Amino acid sequence: MLPVVGLEIHVELATQSKMFCRCRNHFGDAPNTNTCPVCIGMPGALPVMNRTAVEYSARVGMALGCTVSDFTKWDRKSYYYPDLPKNYQISQYDLPLSKEGVLDVPLAGGRSKIIRVRRAHLEEDAGKNVHDIPGATGVDLNRAGVPLLEIVTEPDLNSVEEVMSFARSMQRLVRWLGVSHANMQMGHMRFEPNISIWVGDPAKVFDASSGYFTPIFEIKNLNSFRALEKTTEWVIEYHKTQLRQRGQGWSEAQIGKQNWGYRDETESCEFQRGKEEAHDYRYFPDPDLVPVVVDDAWREKIRAAIGELPLARKARYMQEYQLSDKEADALTQEAPTGDLLDSAVKAGADAKRCANLLLGRGSAIANERGCTIAEIGITSERLAELAKMLSEGKVNASASAKIFDRVIETGHAPEAIAGELGLLAVSDNTQVEQWVEQAIAANPGPADQVRTGDKKAKAAFGFLMGSVMKFSGGKCPPAAAKAMLEAKLQPKN
């Protein structure tokens, strides 16, 4: 038995204006303020394609290693819902912009798996029904006509872990490429998993002579990672129960595909419709729109905007900068944060120190503010200056955290701040010597253990280091303290 899942992912593109009109593409405005005759479906209004939306979509296609067609067209997909008043959605049916790509998704234990992407096509989003009016349902058409990229995978996902990792990798990719905010709460990214179980040899999925599928469940419109995770778990369990009770009767061949919905309150799914009620969308080419021709010049322009992809960047950080898997991962969540690190390194700072600063106070501030590390407002110059001060022993780690915060507040140079706050480490040797002597005088026992090479000498040395730091009020550079202590506590033979 093997769970089999294919995902459809809808990604709203972060263009300034909508897909086929010039209305603002923006979440959270007053209802129906971003509308015009085109996107509310007035007869006779003529759509005009948004080139940027096509560029963004092709960027995603290329990053997924898809074939991006040089010729695509627009089709009308008929459906009748209040949130789509023209009674059809403009989409791409038989000629999607991108097809046949892959996404490599990381899994536990350093493994990864290549998931095939079947297609990625561009369409327009529908409006939204609003249920918070007592006794009535409203329709907000601000979202109608927002460019929507639909990405469809092959049924290559075989566990909840793989589904979740794919979803997260896709979110990271579209953010990285700068084509979507991919904010789940704002509906920028929605998932529709198709879930079934292969009953038979897991090595021979799709070989009808060696097994069969349970009915494929398609779960519509999941708008959080949690909903996707809970749904996938729930449906797999449901199928297992059905198999136990109904055996072979619970098969795709006998029952067919079904649409189910997810309920947040119960964290479970419910039946919506079966295959006999399947929609007939009556796709046909939209006569109001000209086909899209992607010529070589345009293709090159789009390709040039892609740059290094997140997984490649992460691998480079581990290799070139000697960062750990976790550090490299955290610094490649979005391109601007990685760019900040790269620029600071280019300015001559040590990569590991920069990474520590960004993942220490940088990440803490980002969490407090709910933004990315790049957005907290430190420039690569300031980051590099502070990292260099650490490398040169001008400040210690705890001082650097205070300075980091002040740099964010004021934008001033770390040197100046360190001076102002009295955080500059003292490199004057007589001063260091004084602190070291104070530490030794205050701790004769440990000092003796070090001198005699006692078996506790190492711990005693660490204790004395701490004492020097205390006497110096944190100002003594650790390297200087260590050297001076060693000199003063020469072993006795």
Binding site for Zn ion (CB under 5 A): 21, 23, 36, 38-39
Nearer to ligand ADP, 72 or 472 (CB): 72
Whole-angstrom CA distances from 217 to 141, 160, 435 are 30, 15, 72
Rule CB under 6 A: say whether 351 interacts with ligand ADP: no
Rule CB under 6 A: say whether 8 interacts with ligand ADP: yes
Extract the tokens encoding 73: 């067209």
Q: Which does 154 bind (CB under 5 to 8 A by kind): Zn ion, ligand ADP, none?
A: ligand ADP
* Amino acid code (one letter) for 168: R
Q: Which does 39 bind (CB under 5 to 8 A by kind): Zn ion, ligand ADP, none?
A: Zn ion
Nearer to ligand ADP, 263 or 275 (CB): 275
Helix axes 380-391, 397-410, angle to 10 degrees: 160
Closest residue by beta carbon to ligand ADP: 6
Strands 189-200 and 2-12, how do they pair? Answer: antiparallel
Nearer to ligand ADP, 257 or 451 (CB): 257
Closest CA to 408 of 361, 446, 453: 361
Rule CB under 6 A: say whether 250 interacts with ligand ADP: no
Cα within 13 Å of Cα(55), Cβ side? 18
Nearer to ligand ADP, 72 or 194 (CB): 194
Report d(CA 243, CA 219) in Å as an integer. Answer: 19
Rule CB under 6 A: say whether 259 interacts with ligand ADP: no
Rule CB under 6 A: say whether 215 interacts with ligand ADP: no
* Amino acid code (one letter) for 177: L
Applying CB under 6 A, among 194, 232, 251, 472 the residue interacting with ligand ADP is 194
Q: How far apart are the first and last CA of the chain?
A: 72
Total binding residues toward ligand ADP, as defined by CB under 6 A = 14
**φ, ψ (nearest 5 deg) of residue 319:** -80, -55
Rule CB under 6 A: say whether 216 interacts with ligand ADP: yes
Q: How far is the CB of 262 from ligand ADP (least distance, A)?
A: 16
The angle formed by the CA atoms of residues 324, 330 and 335, to the nearest 5 degrees, is: 120
Rule CB under 6 A: say whether 5 interacts with ligand ADP: yes
Of 193-201, 231-239, 304-312, 329-337, which part binds ligand ADP (CB under 6 A)? Answer: 193-201
Closest CA to 158 of 33, 4, 43, 41: 4
Q: Which residues bind ligand ADP (CB under 6 A)?
A: 4-8, 152-155, 194-196, 213, 216
